[in-house]
Structure 1
Amino acid sequence: MSGGTGQVVSEGLLKIEDCLDAEGNIVLPPGVTLISLIDRNIASVGDAVAYRYLDHTGTDDVRAVELTWAELGVRLRAIGARLQRLAAPGDRVAILAPQGLDYVTGFFAAIKAGTIAVPLFAPELQGHAERLQTALDDARPTVVLTTSSAAGAVEIFLDDLAGVPRPQILLIDEIPDSAGESFENRAIDVDDVSHLQYTSGATRAPAGVEITHRAVGTNLLQMILAIDLLDRNTHGVSWLPLFHDMGLSMIGFPAVYGGHSTLMSPTAFLRRPQRWIRALAEGSRDGRVVTAAPNFAYEWTAQRGLPEAGEDIDLANVVLIIGSEPVSIEAVDMFNAAFAPYGLPATAFKPSYGIAEATLFVSTIAPDARATVRHLDRDQLTNGKAVPVAVDAENAVPQVSCGQIARSQWAVIVEPAAGAELPDGHVGEIWLHGENIGRGYWGRPDDTRATFGAALTPAVGGHADGVPADARWLRTGDLGTYLDGELYVTGRLADLVVMGGRQHYPQDIEATVAAASPLVRRGHATAFTVPDEQLVVVAERASGTRRADPAPAVDAIRAAVRQRHGVDVADVRFVPAGAIPRTTSGKLARRACRAEYLDGTLRGQ
């Protein structure tokens, strides 16, 4: 079979050794794209299951729907043929479908048809209409792929959009397999854009990262090598939204070597986190199983997802990627304590760092390593230095190691204003380089130059060794440091609380707030500054505290923050559960919360 470069790709399943040069660096073989990988799997393991969806709607009984590689191929040709009638090569095709196998086939079909996939979400996702509108206005899709069940909501949403050319709507589940007879093979080059990955919008408006086939292929190989997913008998289990970069990676890595992933909806997980645990245990019986989630999901599952008495749950072969910034050691400890009795290995957790602009994966700990934490001096952190202290030190701030940088990728810690690499032990902005980095932001040349085109002044013997002197670097906006060769992610530049010339990390203040009063809902407090360096805390009420007088809690929070951080809180607001905005990936949206606080639209304030 041939790729877009015109060179022949060898038959059979992809072998990882074919993707490494003599020095062990990742080099994609000619013509390898997401579509060529799927074609390999169709030819080699066509009857094997590629994707399984656990449908929990309707009744308590789960309904498993499966798609083999051969069946996937049929659906891609059918959907792709219909797309080719409506869209030209390079046009954007937005997926506004519910979680499920139709989403998977729609995403891959858009790429196979020669168009650029734009993985988004159906309008039924509450609280994110503005993000969806921003993405559609930015990408200007020619076609929207959805399903018959979501078509009505999609029609209404598109009718209400102002200033956006009306895309045509194509219903994935109403396209017959026979439509594939008219499909025309399109040449796909490894440097073509595969899809636009929209950022979460945690610190700024969502932007569409141009992810090329080279970037996605390189990043999937980086993840597979770093987490040791080389065995075809390694399965994926995920409830993460398929429009999220980690959700996409969970359907991407099986394509590399013909494995499979089991999917479910985020709603199914949130309502009953035991469903996630049962799916992991089922996969663990047949081989290694890998999953991924942010801090809150592991905490939620430890609280609400314990198996029923006598239930046969064995998590001996589970790998758990935890990828929030920063990773919470409390979440790791809570989950380990809850599920160690069910065979969960001490090495199961893999604290990791990733970012959409790098396709996703940047670093993680070694396959046989345990999650570890270093405690850093809070006062030194505010001055940009990572100084380890004893765990019981008064100013100790826990930081979880995100391990080593992925193969064929570089990460440096930089003083952002000067663009100069900092020594280990200094906190600065994380800059990245590698073939997994996206091409830029769709339609935003100025932002692309500023973010993807940074020039570095490297340190002698630093972490940029091996990168050409004239190379361009990605500014991540994330803060971190190196200690003993491992990366620690300390926070985000845009979220820093700057008062009196000192920099405070909001998550550190938020932890103090949560510990100060039981009125605060765990993991649901935000800290930010408003004009004139005034510190504001917004906290959701814990369950069962709706009628409690907040005054004592407000006094306790102010006292705790003043004692631990040396700053005064100008305002403490308690709001109902669910009032603090979050990103589509579940992160606290401090920027959005600050905006709602200032304009008076924050619910319950």
Structure 2
Amino acid sequence: MAFEAPEGLLRIEDCLDAHGDVVLPPGVHLISLIERNIANVGDTVAYRYLDHGRSDGETTELTWTQLGVRLRAIGAQLQQITARGERVAILAPQGLEYIAGFFAAIKAGMIAVPLFAPELQGHAERLETALLDARPAVILTTTAAYAAVAEFLGTLQPERRPHVVCIDEIPDAAGETFQSVVIDADDVSHLQYTSGSTRPPVGIEITHRAVGTNLLQMILSIDLLDRNTHGVSWLPLYHDMGLSMIGFPAVYGGHSTLMSPTAFIRRPQRWIRALSDESRNSRVITAAPNFAYEWTAQRGLPAPGDDIDLSNVVLIIGSEPVSIGAITTFNKAFAPYGLPATAFKPSYGIAEATLFVSTIAPQEQAAATYFDREQLAAGRAVRVAADAVGAVAHVACGQIARSLQAAIVDPATAAELPDGSVGEIWLQGNNIGRGYWGLPEESRQTFGAELRTRLASGHTDGADPARPWLRTGDLGVYLDGELYVTGRMADLIVIAAGQHYPQDIEATVADASPIVRRGHVTAFAIPGTENSSEDTELVIIAERATGTGRSDPQPAVEAIRAAVSNRHGLSAADVKFVPAGAIPRTTSGKLARRACRAQYLAGELAG
């Protein structure tokens, strides 16, 4: 799709070389793009926040000009109390102050560390880990969150006590003393802390080049070239996908409408209403993981007579192996409101690559492909009919982003594998992060991989033979030109030399009994006991569905054991039901299988 850029704004074609690869022009980065927007479309809305905390959707807005004033004021305050290259952590509630604080830290020459206020329940340990790791010189918060931040910091023993600054107490006039900073494309923009689903959180060093490249890759892959495309998001701003939703409007002067994750969870219809409001006037893009679409289909249906228009909506679904059930359920619920059959864009992303890696073509419709379970466990993707015994549904994540190389590799030999073979996904490109903050050896192992053997007709044409590769830790396979993500290496359940994907077992459990809360099941392996003939044993933890708290779980336990045995050939050492909300999740909403396993082994999961 061609488009005309308003005078002075970035033109995407200026960021492509003669081969069509993404190459950022000198001096182009998020801050320079924001300054272009201020100069050329300053009176238009940049970010809008729907505050459902005090009312049902009180709206506040920032134009690009107003945002620029706030960035200078906050940046000037930061320059007075810390030095270039220091870390500035944002511990603030979702809102416009958070956005201003994040961009201001970068504009002032510091490294932003997007985190969250201590009031986020159940994630104090992750926050403590990140703060002690990043050692910020300054913490940006708001007056509303200040007391909680101060109390939390009092429980830590940092090497130095950071300054705590309330963003909303800094007057606009403070910007008069701001000192301009020259930003290099290879400077670190921010530290993106991982969600902690399979390991303790670590900070990924994301450079300005990586941010700019990845935003352009997303725009090109999802066909967001029409400047009348806007965003709607409830995703937390400390999450890589949440940051992308405030990043892409900066590229070409659009806007994003935001709300808090809590507002969405309590009433998912708010998300639908916000999408509809934008869809009437423009194309609108949003992004969310599986559970959000399932939850909205259950609890977010419009009331009778509501005028909802979803005809111009684009739905990115990612952050875990994409569920065809989530797509089908949402499509069925919202097709009557104009939702296009091609709205869903199953995508693959990883924080170490800034975010975006692949998605399906703009006019392609998301669909399931069925693979044979036994063959898949043996490392081969073999298509079978949907009703075949042992058929497992997988959703293609489409084509790799422009200027990014992605190979399927045998992790033991570092050899590229042919299409149809399951292996680890390795990546190479300018959107890859620089490494893990303060972890040189782990950075070398993850970001410095060497691909020892390439296929003559593989997927590494154009790759730089002298450049290292990123090991994602994700398993995937190429088939018919599309990438399928099959799971995480760290989550694989290995019992009696057989490999099993936890999400496959979890789906079986959810189908086995109506008292299982769908999307809230974890399966993992534990060391075998003295009475066991196996080195490892299977444990299944399931939350109870709504309204089943008084139901006898024993029939469900027996049904689950039988289903897992019949479908996977496994005997569950333990099947445990827990109350809704008991299974830990990451800050991005994914199942925290590692944390659940640790709680189980420690005897901390109440049944």
Q: Give the TM-score band, short-chain normalised.
A: over 0.9
SS of 2:35's equivalent in the other structure is: helix
> Which residue number in structure 2 is paired with residue 80 of structure 1?
75
> Which residue number in structure 1 is paired with residue 238 of structure 2?
243
> Which residue number in structure 1 is paired with residue 583 of structure 2?
580
Out of 17, 24, 28, which is 2:20 matched to?
24
Out of 496, 500, 504, which is 2:500 matched to?
504
SS of 1:218's equivalent in the other structure is: helix
AA aligned opposite 1:359: T
What is the rounded CA distance, in whole Å, between the counterparts of 2:465 and 2:8 in structure 1?
39
Judge conservation of contact 1:429–1:478 (CA < 8 Å) in 2: yes
- Say which is worse superposed, 508-517 or 100-109, in terms of deviation: 508-517
Tell me if 1:407 matches 2:410: no
> Which residue number in structure 2 is paired with residue 590 of structure 1?
593
Judge conservation of contact 2:418–2:455 (CA < 8 Å) in 1: yes
What is the rounded CA distance, in whole Å, between the counterparts of 1:229 and 1:479 in structure 2?
28
> Which residue number in structure 1 is paired with residue 88 of structure 2?
93
> Which residue number in structure 1 is paired with residue 412 of structure 2?
417
SS of 1:353's equivalent in the other structure is: strand
What is the rounded CA distance, in whole Å, between the counterparts of 1:256 and 1:58 in structure 2?
32
What is the rounded CA distance, in whole Å, between the counterparts of 2:551 and 2:159 in structure 1?
47
> Which residue number in structure 1 is paired with residue 519 of structure 2?
523
Task: Summarize deviations over 1:385-408 as a string: whole Å, max 9, x none.
Answer: 000000100110000000000000
> Which residue number in structure 2 is paired with residue 560 of structure 1?
563
What is the rounded CA distance, in whole Å, between the counterparts of 1:324 and 1:362 in structure 2?
11
AA aligned opposite 2:408: I
SS of 1:290's equivalent in the other structure is: strand
> Which residue number in structure 2 is paired with residue 103 of structure 1?
98
Out of 194, 217, 226, which is 2:221 matched to?
226
Judge conservation of contact 2:291–2:519 (CA < 8 Å) in 1: yes
Judge conservation of contact 1:280–1:315 (CA < 8 Å) in 2: yes
1:11 Cα shift?
A: 7.6
AA aligned opposite 1:179: A
Out of 340, 354, 365, which is 1:370 matched to?
365
Judge conservation of contact 1:136–1:164 (CA < 8 Å) in 2: no
AA aligned opposite 2:563: A
What is the rounded CA distance, in whole Å, between the counterparts of 1:165 and 1:395 in structure 2?
57
Tell me if 1:470 matches 2:466: yes
Tell me if 1:284 matches 2:312: no
SS of 1:469's equivalent in the other structure is: coil
What is the rounded CA distance, in whole Å, between the counterparts of 2:596 and 2:159 in structure 1?
27
SS of 1:385's equivalent in the other structure is: coil
Judge conservation of contact 1:325–1:490 (CA < 8 Å) in 2: no
1:65 Cα shift?
A: 0.3
Judge conservation of contact 2:135–2:158 (CA < 8 Å) in 1: no
What is the rounded CA distance, in whole Å, between the counterparts of 2:46 and 2:377 in structure 1?
48
Out of 338, 345, 348, which is 1:343 matched to?
338
SS of 1:65's equivalent in the other structure is: strand
Tell me if 1:147 matches 2:142: yes
Structure 1 runs not aligned, ≥5 long: 1-9
> Which residue number in structure 2 is paired with residue 549 of structure 1?
552
Tell me if 1:514 matches 2:510: yes
1:555 Cα shift?
A: 1.0
AA aligned opposite 2:243: L
Out of 133, 138, 149, which is 1:138 matched to?
133
Counterparts of 1:32-71 in structure 2, within 5 Å, are 32-59=28-55, 61-71=56-66
> Which residue number in structure 2 is paired with residue 394 of structure 1?
389
Tell me if 1:192 matches 2:187: yes
What is the rounded CA distance, in whole Å, between the counterparts of 2:501 and 2:578 in structure 1?
22
Out of 140, 163, 179, which is 1:168 matched to?
163
1:77 Cα shift?
A: 0.2
Tell me if 1:383 matches 2:378: yes
Task: Summarize deviations over 1:349-368 as a string: whole Å, max 9, x none.
Answer: 00000000000000000111
What is the rounded CA distance, in whole Å, between the counterparts of 2:89 and 2:53 in structure 1?
25
Counterparts of 1:178-327 in structure 2, within 5 Å, are 178-327=173-322
Identity of aligned residues (%): 74
SS of 2:219's equivalent in the other structure is: helix
What is the rounded CA distance, in whole Å, between the counterparts of 1:590 and 1:303 in structure 2?
24
> Which residue number in structure 2 is paired with residue 357 of structure 1?
352
Judge conservation of contact 1:430–1:480 (CA < 8 Å) in 2: yes
What is the rounded CA distance, in whole Å, between the counterparts of 1:95 and 1:385 in structure 2?
44
What is the rounded CA distance, in whole Å, between the counterparts of 2:538 and 2:79 in structure 1?
54
What is the rounded CA distance, in whole Å, between the counterparts of 1:175 and 1:597 in structure 2?
46
Q: TM-score, normalised by structure 1?
A: 0.97
1:417 Cα shift?
A: 1.1
Judge conservation of contact 1:510–1:527 (CA < 8 Å) in 2: yes
AA aligned opposite 1:212: T
What is the rounded CA distance, in whole Å, between the counterparts of 1:328 and 1:541 in structure 2?
21
- Say which is worse superposed, 181-190 or 155-164, in terms of deviation: 155-164
Structure 2 runs not aligned, ≥5 long: 1-5, 528-534
What is the rounded CA distance, in whole Å, between the counterparts of 1:32 and 1:468 in structure 2?
24
Aligned residues: 594
Task: Summarize deviations over 1:313-369 as a string: whole Å, max 9, x none.
Answer: 110000000013200000000000000000000000000000000000000001111
SS of 2:151's equivalent in the other structure is: helix
1:553 Cα shift?
A: 1.1
Q: TM-score, normalised by structure 2?
A: 0.97
What is the rounded CA distance, in whole Å, between the counterparts of 1:162 and 1:140 in structure 2?
11
What is the rounded CA distance, in whole Å, between the counterparts of 1:222 and 1:505 in structure 2?
30
What is the rounded CA distance, in whole Å, between the counterparts of 2:81 and 2:150 in structure 1?
18
AA aligned opposite 2:511: A
Task: Summarize deviations over 1:42-64 as a string: whole Å, max 9, x none.
Answer: 001000100000011123x3211
1:164 Cα shift?
A: 4.4
What is the rounded CA distance, in whole Å, between the counterparts of 1:75 and 1:324 in structure 2?
32
AA aligned opposite 1:376: F
SS of 2:573's equivalent in the other structure is: strand
Over the residues paired in the alignment, what is the CA RMSD in angstroms?
A: 0.9
What is the rounded CA distance, in whole Å, between the counterparts of 2:565 and 2:353 in structure 1?
38
What is the rounded CA distance, in whole Å, between the counterparts of 1:162 and 1:535 in structure 2?
39
Counterparts of 1:459-498 in structure 2, within 5 Å, are 459-498=455-494
What is the rounded CA distance, in whole Å, between the counterparts of 1:283 and 1:323 in structure 2?
22
1:458 Cα shift?
A: 1.5
What is the rounded CA distance, in whole Å, between the counterparts of 1:538 and 1:469 in structure 2?
45
What is the rounded CA distance, in whole Å, between the counterparts of 1:215 and 1:493 in structure 2?
25
What is the rounded CA distance, in whole Å, between the counterparts of 2:289 and 2:423 in structure 1?
23
What is the rounded CA distance, in whole Å, between the counterparts of 1:520 and 1:281 in structure 2?
32
Task: Summarize deviations over 1:233-284 as a string: whole Å, max 9, x none.
Answer: 1000000000000000000000001010000000110111110001000100
What is the rounded CA distance, in whole Å, between the counterparts of 1:390 and 1:227 in structure 2?
30
1:163 Cα shift?
A: 3.9
SS of 1:286's equivalent in the other structure is: coil
What is the rounded CA distance, in whole Å, between the counterparts of 1:294 and 1:27 in structure 2?
30
- Say which is worse superposed, 218-227 or 462-471, in terms of deviation: 462-471
1:162 Cα shift?
A: 2.3
Task: Summarize deviations over 1:65-101 as a string: whole Å, max 9, x none.
Answer: 0000000000000000000011101000000000000
AA aligned opposite 2:477: T
SS of 1:252's equivalent in the other structure is: helix
What is the rounded CA distance, in whole Å, between the counterparts of 1:474 and 1:169 in structure 2?
36
- Say which is worse superposed, 451-460 or 115-124, in terms of deviation: 451-460
SS of 1:312's equivalent in the other structure is: coil
What is the rounded CA distance, in whole Å, between the counterparts of 1:114 and 1:542 in structure 2?
49
SS of 2:435's equivalent in the other structure is: coil
